[in-house]
Amino acid sequence: MTETRPWYQEPYVWLLIALPLSAVVAGFYTLYLAIVSNDGLVADDYYKRGKEINLVLKRDQAAANLGLSANTQFDYDLGKIVVNLKKQSGYQVPDQLSLRLLHATRAGYDQTLVLQRLPDGEYFGLYKSLVPGRWYLQLETDTWRLNGHLTIPSENSVSLAPNLS
């Protein structure tokens, strides 16, 4: 006569319980990660930004019409940046420029700098440390904008130009 064991002593029963249970645990862990992490990939005001796209395109076109471009030089050890703005003759450059350093995937690392013009015509600014990865740069005033991208730490300089594409 065969002995019958209780259900909790059967290994196949535990296998049938463990597979769906592991999926439920993994689902709750994924939900936890989604709640506590801030991915920063979607703008809260996406509709407003969509309406402003024409203004942004006008700023890029204005930079192209003025013949603007820039070269940047980063010193990662000292946390400083020097920008050499190239322009057509006749354009009066401002005393300050705004430089936005935008991390490619994490908005929490983004920085906005105010660059001051030095007597030699270059612009200078200090920034907080930058994490390795791809960064987008926007050099701008109220009327024009230049764009570029940089990979840290492999590059320490980048050329900025109007984005007309």
Mean pLDDT value of segment 139-151: 89
Task: Over range 15-19, report the average pLDDT.
Answer: 92
Domain 68-160 bears CATH identifier 3.40.50.300: no
Task: Give residue 44's pLDDT band: very low, low, confident or very high (50, 70, 90).
Answer: low
Instruction: Tell me the domain boundaries of the chain.
Output: 7-35, 68-160
- When pLDDT is averaged across residues 86-104 and rounded to a whole number, the result is 86
Q: Is the full-model pTM beyond 0.75?
A: no
Q: Does residue 6 register a pLDDT over 80?
A: yes
- Please report which confidence band the pLDDT of residue 51 belongs to, taking 50, 70 and 90 as the band edges: low
Helix/strand number for the chain, H first, E second: 3, 8
Q: What is the mean pLDDT of the chain?
A: 85
Question: Rounded to an integer, what distance in angstroms lies between the CA atom of residue 162 and that of residue 139?
Answer: 10
Conformation bin of residue 60: beta by default, left when phi > 0, alpha when psi is -120 to 50: alpha
- Asked if 99 and 113 count as a contact pair (C-beta separation under 8 A), the reply is yes
71 to 68, 106, 107, 133, 157: CA distances (angstroms): 11, 25, 24, 20, 7
| pLDDT band per the 50, 70, 90 thresholds, residue 54 | low
CB 124 within 8 A of CB 80: yes
Q: Are 61 and 162 in contact (CB under 8 A)?
A: yes
The region that residue 17 occupies, defined by phi over 0 for left and psi between -120 and 50 for alpha, beta otherwise, is alpha
Task: For residue range 107-139, list pLDDT tens digits in order.
Answer: 888 889 999 999 988 999 988 888 888 999 999
Q: What angle (nearest 5°) sits at the alpha carbon of residue 108, between those of residues 104 and 111? A: 80
Higher pLDDT, 90 or 103: 103
Please tell me the predicted confidence (pLDDT) of residue 49.
Answer: 60
Which of the given ranges, 37-51, 55-69, 104-118, has the highest pLDDT on average?
104-118
**Phi-psi label, residue 28: left if phi above 0, alpha if psi -120 to 50, beta otherwise:** alpha
